[in-house]
Amino acid sequence: MARMASEGAARGRRLPPRVLRWGFDALYSAMISVLPLYAAARAVRDPKARSRWAAYARDMSARFGRREPRHSGRPCVWVHGVSVGEVKAAARLVAEIERTVPDVEVVITVTTDTGYRVARTRYPDHRVEFYPPDLSWIVNDSLDALRPDLMILVESEFWPNFLFSARDRGIPVALVNGKLSARSAGRFGRLAPVACKLMECIEIFCVQLPLHEQRFVHLGVPADRIHVTGNMKFDNIPIKQDALRDDEFADLLGTDDGIPVVVAGSTHPGEERAMARIHRNITSTGTPFRLVVAPRHPARADTVEADMRKEGGNVIRRSTMQSGDRPAPGQIVLLDTVGELERVYARADFVFVGGSIARHGGQNMMEPASLAKPVVVGRHIHNFRGEVEMLRHVDGIVLVRDAEGVEQTLRGWLTDPAAAREMGLRAREVIERSKGATSRTLERIRPLLERLAAQSAK
């Protein structure tokens, strides 16, 4: 593999970036000519696609239009993250950059409309924009307008025209919280000459895990430019040992009667009915457990309750329970309130995190994992692939294909709760070890920041 990467690098050096830029511009232009037809066809069939394309169309001028020039003469760091997760992960790093280089101006860019809204809220005093589409003339207009002195990419953004243009202008680029999935690595491997040219444009790679380091090395990146610094997202996760153990939820959930509690958190349509069916199947064999279902959107409570009743579930809503109330044996608690999921997770014995059997992309499984809860998720976790990968590396989470897999996992945990608790402890331990990624990343990019500070002092 290393030999193939080396040969790819040699071929890559023979490809002029100008030729590659022309090629990508031609490819993008061809895609743009057919994209409206594809978007229209998807929008007719898929309401989610329709809303995404509508949001993209609404922001078209902000994405493709000319950028307002940056008038300040201060040094500029351009930080880019695709969406919400990257925006939040970078928050502490941005603050540290501003502390290290007091005169710096940080510009934030994002790709998605949800990321844009979160960035405007998280960084109210910063310039927040959409990342430019990777057409060379739009990229060059953006670079002319913003005049960045340092570019920081969060996680995995490797747009060719942008990277080539930044290199032509002498703008150093750092990748932070970097990752490279097996699928992306395979695609890059099939385009070794282009991949090598792209990677040459990045000066420092700060990656989440050793396996990401190995994948970049296989693409021809020198090992001395890659540093395993951990996942900065974990710096935003509070570690709570036995939080909230003696609160009102002991009564509301009946967790002091020795019956195990399974929490299905942040569930999506179809998952609540599946969990009610699992509850019926397992309890009918003489293995009791109490099920708490927390829909991602509590406004769906009426539909959720009706769905679970179709599976024979005896449902009680949290909003109807008073202090001192407790569910009857076999009753399913529907958490139809806002802001209480963390407290419920603290009372759980086992957790299923939703949005993962449904084709949503997953929900935040790090919150229950940080509480040392054994967690099971479905296979649709593409929004949290890095987190799941890290937890699986230490056998700290269970990944299953479907609802039947969730049922089998819960049966195993109910039979051997000690093994399940060990899994939860491993998850919390790896999260604790991963904290400090922001500080480690800052140390690795410090030479770039010192260069920036020196430039500012002139």
Rounded-to-integer distance, Cα 58 and Cα 389, Å? 35
Give yes or no for a contact between 160 and 188, defined as CB atoms under 8 angstroms apart: no
Quick one: pLDDT at residue 17? Answer: 65
Show the tokens assigned to 121: 């809220």
* Block residue for tokens 């380091």: 213
Quick one: pLDDT at residue 293? Answer: 97
Question: Sign of the C-alpha dihedral, residues 249, 255, 279, 392?
Answer: positive
Identity of the highest mean pLDDT range in 17-21, 24-28, 141-145, 210-214: 141-145
360-405 pLDDT, tens per residue? 889 989 999 999 999 999 999 987 887 898 899 899 999 999 999 9
Q: Rounded to 5 degrees, what are φ and ψ at 108?
A: -110, 130
Please say if the pLDDT value at position 256 is more than 80: no
Q: What is the dihedral of CA 433, 437, 438, 440, to 10 degrees?
A: 110
Rounded-to-integer distance, Cα 184 and Cα 191, Å? 11
- Confidence at 35, pLDDT banded by 50, 70, 90: low
In this structure, what DSSP letter does residue 67 have? P
Show the tokens assigned to 148: 């960045």
Give yes or no for a contact between 237 and 428, defined as CB atoms under 8 angstroms apart: no
3-state secondary structure of 356: coil
- Confidence at 428, pLDDT banded by 50, 70, 90: very high
3-state secondary structure of 449: helix
Residues near 246 by Cβ (< 8 Å), separated by ≥ 6?
none
Give yes or no for a contact between 100 and 441, defined as CB atoms under 8 angstroms apart: no
Rounded-to-integer distance, Cα 98 and Cα 104, Å? 6
Give yes or no for a contact between 73 and 148, defined as CB atoms under 8 angstroms apart: no
65-110 pLDDT, tens per residue? 889 999 888 999 999 998 888 888 899 999 999 998 888 999 999 9
- Give the CA angle between residues 348, 349, 350 to the nearest 5°: 95
| Domains, the chain | 2-18+74-236+436-457 (3.40.50.11720), 249-434 (3.40.50.2000)
Give yes or no for a contact between 239 and 373, defined as CB atoms under 8 angstroms apart: no
Please say if the pLDDT value at position 32 is more than 70: no
